[in-house]
Amino acid sequence: MASTCSATTPKSIVLTPPSSSSTDKLSNLSFLNSSISTSFKLAQSISISHSHSEKATFITTNVLKTVESIDISRSKTRDLESVISTSKPTILVSEKLGEAGLDLLRSFGNVDCSYNLSSEELCSKISLCDALIVRSGTKVTRQVFEAAKGRLKVVGRAGVGIDNVDLQAATEFGCLVVNAPTANTIAAAEHGIALMAAMARNVSQADASMKSGKWQRNKYVGVSLVGKTLAVMGFGKVGSEVARRAKGLGMHVIAHDPYAPADRARAVGVDLVSFDEAISTADFVSLHMPLTPTTNKIFNEGNFAKMKKGVRLINVARGGVIDEDALVRALDSGIVAQVCFSCQCK
């Protein structure tokens, strides 16, 4: 769901299609191949702690190599084939995936698609599962790992954000957590740019107004993007693609990311700056950081106060990085002129 609201124009909610098609995502879900127990053992000691981390790719690559080697030995060794087929893992899929992904999973294990489970139902099923595939809706809490009683070997996140998985508990219980870090990079970046342009030109408000029989073209002229400064907060996969596109629109792009190397930013023509410099000089601020204890409500009263009056925000990351009560006050006071988001908020 994506929404836009503004201090200067009527607040409105706009529903938009999902950020990418199932097919787009599935083409990148190859890590799900890892549900053979042999490959779990090889990769199990590594866990992902930051969604921008290169480790994510490293783990996925490792798992895939393991599966490739199993596939080769399958054709050569009948014994191994019989071991694999008689010890199929049980894979619980707790949120809707496309059929192509499910078919892939079914070729490796017994797949149980059970959606909308309560946390009690998830906990009661999990002790019979070797793998759990989730999107962002399933909360994989410590209780889930405890209830698994050591059987759960991998949690596959069919998407990027892993803030719904208790990584500390996963590590303690020796469970691998893998995501699909590039699955929806372009879709998310394009969606961010689409929201920014629609927000700047009041597209949804003008649309609603016109559908109510009015023709208020002067009211919804909006602002130009060209020549404006965009601060990209989080220069990972999505953030850097947003930066690339924003430069094409004639914007001056700066970025803040404590983990991004300066030469990667320079290659896109972007200056990496401090958090405070980014938020205090930008006309538009686009959020692309993961939700972690450090980034939780990082856009709070104090940081809104540092922003330029009339700043516009785009959030295609996680609702939790913004303190929403502070945001409402910043909209009311005019510090924030407009905000658009494509993530869950209160």
Ligand X SMILES: O=C(O)[C@H](O)COP(=O)(O)O
For tokens 């990418």, name the residue.
20
Cβ pair 220, 209 in contact under 8 A? yes
95/277 with CB nearer ligand X: 95
Minimal distance, residue 187 CB to ligand X, in Å: 9
User: Which residue's Cβ lies closest to ligand X?
Assistant: 159
Task: Compare residues 245 and 288 and give the one whose CB is closer to ligand X.
Answer: 288
Instruction: List the beta bridge partners of residue 341.
Output: 3, 315
| HSE toward the beta carbon, residue 5, CA cutoff 13 A | 17
Write the single-letter amino acid at 49: S
C-alpha pair distances (Å), 28 with each of 31, 98, 254: 8, 12, 29
Dihedral sign from CA coordinates of 135, 187, 40, 42: negative
- What is the rounded distance in angstroms from the CA atom of residue 245 to the CA atom of residue 263? 18
We find the least distance from the C-beta atom of residue 309 to ligand X, in angstroms, to be: 31
- The nearer residue to ligand X, 180 or 282, going by C-beta atoms, is 180
Smaller CB separation from ligand X, 158 or 260: 158
The owner of tokens 């894979």 is 91
Give CA–CA dist 235/268, Å, rounded: 11
Query: Shortest gap between Cβ of 75 and ligand X (angstroms)?
Result: 35
Nearer CB in complex with ligand X: 202/342: 342
Residues at the contact surface with ligand X, assessed by CB under 6 A = 135-137, 159-161, 184
Shortest separation between residue 146's beta carbon and ligand X, angstroms: 24
Q: At what angle do helices 185-200 and 203-211 cross, to 10 degrees?
A: 60
Q: Which is nearer to ligand X, 159 or 234 (CB)?
A: 159
Least distance (Å) between residue 136 CB and ligand X: 3
| Minimum CB distance to ligand X, residue 135 (Å) | 3
**Whole-angstrom Cα distance, residue 144 to residue 119?**
8
